[in-house]
Structure 1
Amino acid sequence: MTGRRPRLTVLGGGTWGTTVASIAARKTRTLLWVRDPEIAAAVNETHRNPRYLPGFDLAPGLRATADLAEAVSDADVLVAGVPSQYLRDVLKQVAEHVRPFIPVVSLVKGLEQGSLLRMTEVIGEELPGHPAGVLSGPNIAREVVQGYSAAATLAMPDHRTAQALQGLVHTSRYRVYTSEDVVGVEIAGALKNVFAIAVGFGDGLGAGDNTRAMVITRSLHELTRLGVAMGGRAETLAGLAGMGDLVVTCVSPHSRNRFVGFELGRGRPLEDIMASMNQVAEGVRTTAAVIRLAAERGVEMPIVREVDAVLNHRQPVEETYRGLLRVTPGHEVDGEAW
């Protein structure tokens, strides 16, 4: 990453994709791909994304396009920010236009339905030969785009690649740490959304601060058990991408997944909640996939199991909390159950 400034392309003009593109545009030449030509025009003409970040100014150097081939053909670095269920299709479309061997960084916090693959695994299948990594952490987009201090972890299979890419998104207020634990960073980002729904249940029911702290803490235990079973490092799951992201997603009023759980706790039907949202709450789709992953690896995840019962089997939220409290506690660290 020496010499001329690299050309970076972000695929996906949602809240977080736009935010990362705006950060990168202050450091290097950056192009944002969005599906809607009107949004692309707005970014170019007003330096704002009126649909996903209304009222927030973006970096004046950021450019946008709705032409996918144009977006990727000259890129030196590709950043994937489309929702998990659309990523493979988008990568299939860009494969013939992407220059060989350029690194691809995922912003996506989910798992592919059916295959249960992590997003870097999907990238590996559709763009073989490209180093694939992930940027993840406790990042509420609206705060980051306003310049509030935040941090994240950038994980690549080769640590030198992570260090080379670090400078493209690291600023004095957005601190980017490096890692080679792609699995740990990525699985933490997917699982925390499920647990945020569980915390939202309690908030919607008015369960109180003590209950919220209990659920977050035990959620970290479940997240760590599955993350380590899949090959991640426990220290990664206790860091920014694990505990950090879990906490902010579980407590922030801007968290889409917490919002889903909160509204369910208040008695609102899931279909109505999802129809009212203009962005994806990844945890809703991820929950069933996590249930399958846990079963394959023999990991007990009672919180995820109860979230799945509500989302996919119409169990009342009130019964979910009663069910968790009926579980007899075991050893806090070594115990199998909730």
Structure 2
Amino acid sequence: MSKVTVFGAGAWGSTMAQVLSDAGNEVLLWGRSESVISEISTAHTNVKYLGSHILPDDIIATTSLDDAFAFSQMYVLAIPAQEIRATLEDWKARFPSDCTIVSTLKGIEIATQMRMTEVIEDVLGAHKIAIITGPNLADELVLRQPAGAVAAATSQVLADQIRELFRTPYYRVYTSTDVMGCELAGAIKSVIALAVGLSIGMGFGENTQAMLITRGLNEVARLCAAHGSDPLSAAGLAGMGDLVASCGSPLSRNRTFGEVIGRTGSMSAARAQMVKTVEGVASSSAVLEIAHRVGIEVPVIEAVADIVSEKLTPEAALQRLMEITTKAENFIR
């Protein structure tokens, strides 16, 4: 049994707290909202994010950063990706030199095009840093439905440690030492899921979705390979697995947001309907910049970036995709 602090009491942070508790750990969940934390402490629910679902009653919830950092030296980050740098800057002096940090964040920092572990290291310096990623929709995982994930770290020893930390009868965790590939795949899938949602909102069916998913996966694999990571990470849980869940489920924020844009042609309408963070919208321009930096053509990603920046309508973006010259199909070419 380990002591673990989870930072972030939204849908994902609360779900991670449950998984860690079910794995036999002592868990403290930190959040900013007094009302949310009070509800978790007294009723063991988080109605705003998880409806009437009952969380384990042994999860400790607090708004006190002093208590959160004193509770353990194993810190799980479940806060929005685009807020991570400013948050860590504020908390920098609180992190012990020998702590372990686990990122559950999927995204690319817009200003720097850094992956989340790069942002963490850039702000905090050298620490034991790992990630947990995969096809994990909070609304299903919190119901303890069977799911798989990847614990990735540059050290196999640390990856094994994180696997054991999270493993439960319903949460099957594999390991990887390809942190870059797993993070890139997790960030890019959000953009592809937006593309699939757009096509659904525009009234297109399974053929269109299959084309976008498959060609999107090709873009993920080529970006991974261009950065020196293992392109096969794109074929595993962190890549294909996450892509299938995000593109196939109406529970996916990215797909749902894309559907509204496709149906209405309006970014403002989509923003009005979605109150939760939609990482694909924030990351699409940063992912496109990463691709341009290494000279990789990513037409699906580029189409999404142009739509969310309102440079193109969904109809014009799809027409551009369909007019691109085709060539021999290859997984990483």
- Alignment match of 2:173 (pick from 171, 176, 184): 176
**Residues 111-130 of structure 1 correspond to what in structure 2 (within 5 A)?**
111-130=108-127
CA contact (8 A) 2:265 2:313 kept: no
Separation of aligned partners in 2, 1:64 and 1:30: 9
Cα displacement (A) at 1:201 = 1.1
How far the C-alpha of 1:335 sits from its partner, in A, is 8.2
Distance across 2 between alignment mates of 1:100 and 1:7: 17
How far off is 1:105 after superposition? 0.8
Output the amino acid matched with 1:22.
Q
Consecutive unaligned residues of structure 2, counting only runs of 5 or more, are: none
| Aligned-partner SS, 1:116 | coil
Amino acid at match of 1:226: L
1:17 and 2:13 aligned = yes
Matched, 1:195 2:216: no
Q: Percent identity?
A: 37
1:334 CA drift (Å):
6.8
SS at match of 2:83: helix
* 1:34 pairs with 2:31: yes
- Matches of 1:335 and 1:148 in 2, distance apart? 33
Match of 2:66 among 60, 69, 74: 69
Q: Corresponding residue for 1:275?
A: 272
- Tell me which residue corresponds to 1:211: 208
Count residues with an aligned counterpart.
332
Task: Tell me, yes or no, if the aligned pair for 1:101 and 1:129 is still in contact at 8 Å.
Answer: no
User: Residue 320 of structure 2 is aligned with which of 304, 318, 323?
Assistant: 323
After superposition, the Cα gap between the structure-2 partners of 1:90 and 1:335, relative to the gap in structure 1 and judged at 3 Å, is closer
C-alpha distance in 1 between matches for 2:265 and 2:282: 18
In the alignment, which residue of structure 2 is the partner of 1:265?
262
Selected match of 2:106 from 109, 128, 148:
109
* Paired residue secondary structure (2:49): coil
Task: Write the distance in 1 (CA, Å) between the matches of 2:267 and 2:241.
Answer: 27
After TM superposition, the score normalised by the length of structure 2 is 0.96
CA distance in 2 between counterparts of 1:213 and 1:57 reads 37
- TM-score under structure 1 normalisation? 0.95
Query: Which of residues 273, 280, 291 in structure 2 aligns to 1:294?
Result: 291
Q: Distance in 2 between matches of 1:102 and 1:176?
A: 22
> Paired residue for 2:230?
233
1:102 Cα deviation from its structure 2 partner = 1.3
4+ residue segments displaced more than 3 Å: none
Shift of 1:68: 2.0
Check the 8 A contact 1:147/1:173 in 2, yes or no. yes
Q: In structure 2, the residue corresponding to 1:157 is in which secondary structure?
A: coil
- What corresponds to 1:139 in structure 2? 136
Name the SS for the 1:304 alignment partner: helix
Return the alpha-carbon distance in structure 2 between the equivalents of residues 17 and 131 of structure 1.
Answer: 20
1:98-118 Cα offsets, whole Å, 9 max, x none, are 222211111111111111111
Q: 1:63 Cα shift?
A: 1.3
Which structure features the higher share of helix residues? 2
